[in-house]
Structure formats: C-alpha cells, structure tokens
Amino acid sequence: MMARRLLFASAVAGVLACAAPTFAQKPARAPKGATAQCNDGSFSTAKTERGACSHHGGVAEWYME
C-alpha cells in the first residue's frame, strides 16, 4: 500500500514537472494585470478564460497567475 502511494505521488510529480514549462508567459508589453491575450492582439484582465476575449476573436494565450 505504501509503495502504491509513493508510485502515484512520483507519477503526479513527474506530470506536473513536465507540464509547468508549457504555460505561456506574459510578453513584456502586456499591461499590468493581464490574464490573456486575444487573437486580435488586445489583452484581457478577465478572471476566467471563458468569455475573456469574446468580442476580440477568442483567446490566443492564457497566462497562469
């Protein structure tokens, strides 16, 4: 039982370590508080991805805070 928990914890840690670099970083020109860049190049400060760029062609990049 203990070995199973250790194996599961190691697997989860490995997945998180590999996934972390895939999150987008804000560009230097992004305004303070920006959480997304829209497809038209504008930025959004919406708290959730849903509807963040609804009038700007959708979300191109979502920045994890």
Query: CA 37 to CA 41: how far, in whole Å?
Result: 6
Q: What is the pLDDT of residues 17-60, one digit of tens each?
A: 655 555 668 888 999 999 999 999 999 999 999 999 999 999 99
pLDDT at residue 9, rounded to an integer = 73
Q: How far is residue 33 from each of residues 7, 16, 44, measured CA to CA in Å? A: 39, 25, 8
Domain that holds residue 32: 2-62
Output the pTM of the full model.
Answer: 0.60
Query: Total structural domains in the chain?
Result: 1
Q: For residue 15, what pLDDT is reported?
A: 63
Answer left, alpha or beta for residue 54, where phi above 0 means left and psi between -120 and 50 means alpha. Answer: alpha
